[in-house]
């Protein structure tokens, strides 16, 4: 493939070729929580509520792992593009060391705080006990999660998408098989209940990491973990964190939002906490395909913007916006047509199903317009404008929705919280359009051929920007 394919290949086929691997990887990764939730729901509604309350902490762990992995990925890709293999190996080695430190610290802290965290949202001792039991087992695998994310981004930075997809799929299939076996005690295995769900997920994650390690040792890639780079370099650490921290914040904001909404809904009924938890499990299958397309868009829009191809940048943005909009239309239709059946996958209580139907129908009203903020935020990251992108995420997950949910709940109860979602999406969409147009109105300086090749090399791997 020639060096300029990103600005010469027809836009739609180019976007599809870059996005489809991202969509598949993200859908596979999302199945961990979905599968756990489905089988845990068969235990009891209290168990599902406990899982919903633990979810923000799990999401934070994943956000920290993926976000810092984005930093590792970006720095490696940059130095690969610059042809500096010494710095590349240094970034990989120190990134892995820091990922290990993050894993140890989060394991201790998350296990220590989880009882207090759960008591902030429920007074049910049964729910708290189930949540603690699940968390102790699940969080014991935090180190494996952070190291696995580091290796995932390392492989992706050199364009080895096949290994990451196979590893994720093997881990997910293992999780699916082991969930019912360990939860309900089939064959020679003991009945472990909610701990079985956590252990099944952990074993799946461990298998994913094992595959990365085996492939790394047997089929060496261009990037190497070297002993002489283990001691941290201040400049390299700053570079890794300067990219990893904003990415982590972007990914961690939903955890803050879910915890805030749980606190608001707890004043009315734990049923609504359960409904919110179910919604966040279901919405992954709506937003992840759209986010996968955005992931594929990022290197394309960044390359063409840097090359001075502003008309092509506009085409890429508009096509991705339309594709995301189509996905959101389908999501809205599903939530309007079969909300009861969707909620029924996770609970058999009629009152919960009815409350969930109402929630899905109202929240679904905001899906279509949310395509604007999702696409705009991704495009800004592709342009290297992390701060404007973070501004959009802050509006979507904190600044608008949390105060609005608090106020509307005082007048409409839980229904007010559900209405806050579509109201926030409308406001954020308007802000997104303004911010994106303001940024894109400042054209980048055209680059010469040598610089263009370096830019392309730095972003050529589609997974460089995959989170």
In this predicted model, what pLDDT tens digit does every residue of 134-191 receive, in sequence order? Answer: 999 999 999 999 999 999 888 877 767 678 878 988 998 899 899 999 999 998 899 9
pLDDT for position 459: 42
Model confidence band, residue 447 (pLDDT cutoffs 50, 70, 90): very low
- The pLDDT of residue 448 is above 50: no
Q: Are residues 206 and 243 in the same domain?
A: yes
Q: Are residues 405 and 321 in the same domain?
A: yes
Q: Are residues 247 and 326 in the same domain?
A: no
Distance (Å, rounded) from C-alpha 230 to C-alpha 95?
A: 9
Cα first-last separation, the chain = 25
- The pLDDT of residue 454 is above 50: no
Model confidence band, residue 3 (pLDDT cutoffs 50, 70, 90): very low
Look at 401 and 163; give whichever has higher pLDDT. 401
Residue 394 lies in a domain: yes
Last residue of a domain, one of 225, 251, 277: 251
Q: What percent of the chain has pLDDT over 70?
A: 88
Count of domains observed in the chain? 2
Residue 70 lies in a domain: yes
pLDDT for position 151: 92
Residue 330 lies in a domain: yes
Range of the domain at 355: 1-19+267-462
Mean pLDDT for 262-287 is 90
- The pLDDT of residue 118 is above 60: yes
In this structure, are residues 225 and 377 in contact, taking their beta carbons and an 8 Å threshold?
no
Q: Across all residues in the chain, what is the average pLDDT? A: 85
Query: Which of 109-118, 263-272, 434-443 shows the lowest mean pLDDT across its residues?
Result: 434-443
pLDDT for position 455: 41
Query: Which of 175-184, 263-272, 302-311, 360-369 shows the lowest mean pLDDT across its residues?
Result: 302-311
pLDDT for position 215: 93
- The pLDDT of residue 460 is above 50: no
Model confidence band, residue 293 (pLDDT cutoffs 50, 70, 90): confident
- The pLDDT of residue 294 is above 50: yes
Q: Are residues 85 and 161 in the same domain?
A: yes
Residue 467 lies in a domain: no
pLDDT for position 443: 54
Residue 35 lies in a domain: no
- The pLDDT of residue 247 is above 80: no
Look at 87 and 143; give whichever has higher pLDDT. 143
Look at 382 and 379; give whichever has higher pLDDT. 379
- The pLDDT of residue 40 is above 70: yes
Q: What percent of the chain has pLDDT over 90?
A: 48
Q: Are residues 207 and 335 in the same domain?
A: no
Mean pLDDT for 18-30 is 71
Q: Are residues 335 and 381 in the same domain?
A: yes
pLDDT for position 8: 63
- The pLDDT of residue 236 is above 50: yes
Last residue of a domain, one of 226, 251, 276: 251
- Condensed to tens digits (0 to 9), the pLDDT of residues 182-230 reads 999 998 899 999 999 999 999 999 999 999 999 999 988 888 888 888 8
Q: Are residues 170 and 276 in the same domain?
A: no
Query: Which of 84-88, 106-110, 442-446 shows the lowest mean pLDDT across its residues?
Result: 442-446
Q: Are residues 329 and 448 in the same domain?
A: yes
pLDDT for position 279: 93
- The pLDDT of residue 6 is above 70: no
């Amino acid at each position: 493939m020639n060096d300029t394919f990103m600005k010469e290949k027809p836009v739609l086929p180019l976007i599809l070729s870059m996005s489809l691997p991202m969509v598949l990887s993200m859908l596979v990764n999302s199945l961990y929580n979905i599968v756990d939730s489905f089988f845990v729901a068969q235990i009891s509604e209290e168990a599902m509520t406990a899982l919903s309350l633990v979810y923000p902490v799990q999401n934070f762990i994943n956000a920290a792992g993926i976000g810092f992995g984005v930093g590792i990925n970006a720095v490696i890709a940059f130095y690969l593009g610059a042809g500096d293999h010494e710095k590349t190996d240094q970034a990989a080695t120190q990134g892995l060391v820091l990922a290990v430190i993050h894993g140890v610290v989060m394991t201790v802290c998350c296990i220590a705080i989880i009882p207090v965290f759960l008591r902030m949202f429920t007074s049910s001792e049964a729910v708290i006990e189930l949540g603690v039991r699940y968390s102790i087992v699940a969080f014991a695998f935090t180190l494996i999660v952070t190291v696995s994310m580091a290796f995932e981004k390392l492989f992706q930075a050199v364009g080895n998408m096949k290994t990451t997809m196979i590893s994720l799929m093997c881990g997910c299939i293992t999780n699916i098989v082991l969930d019912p076996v360990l939860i309900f005690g089939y064959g020679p295995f003991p009945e472990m209940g909610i701990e079985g769900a956590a252990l099944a997920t952990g074993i799946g994650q461990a298998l994913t990491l094992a595959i990365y390690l085996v492939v790394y040792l047997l089929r060496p890639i261009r990037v190497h973990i070297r002993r002489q780079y283990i001691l941290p370099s201040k400049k390299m650490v700053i570079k890794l964190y300067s990219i990893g921290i904003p990415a982590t914040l972007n990914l961690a904001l939903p955890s803050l939002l879910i915890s805030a909404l749980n606190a608001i809904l707890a004043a009315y009924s734990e049923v609504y906490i359960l409904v919110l938890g179910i919604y966040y499990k279901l919405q992954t299958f709506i937003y992840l395909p759209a986010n996968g397309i955005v992931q594929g868009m990022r290197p394309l829009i960044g390359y063409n913007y840097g090359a001075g191809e502003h008309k092509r940048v506009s085409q890429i943005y508009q096509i991705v916006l339309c594709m995301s909009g189509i996905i959101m239309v389908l999501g809205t239709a599903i939530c309007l047509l079969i909300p009861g059946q969707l909620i029924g996958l996770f609970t058999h209580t009629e009152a919960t199903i009815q409350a969930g139907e109402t929630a899905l129908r109202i929240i679904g009203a905001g899906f279509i317009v949310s395509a604007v903020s999702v696409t705009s935020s991704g495009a800004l990251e592709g342009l290297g404008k992390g701060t404007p992108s973070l501004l959009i995420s802050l509006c979507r997950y904190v600044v608008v929705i949390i105060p609005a949910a608090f106020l509307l709940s005082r007048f409409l109860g839980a229904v007010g919280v559900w209405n806050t979602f579509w109201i926030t999406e409308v406001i954020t969409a308007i802000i997104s359009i303004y911010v994106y147009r303001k940024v894109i109105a400042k054209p980048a300086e055209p680059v010469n051929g040598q610089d263009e090749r370096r830019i392309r090399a730095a972003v050529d791997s589609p997974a460089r920007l995959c989170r």
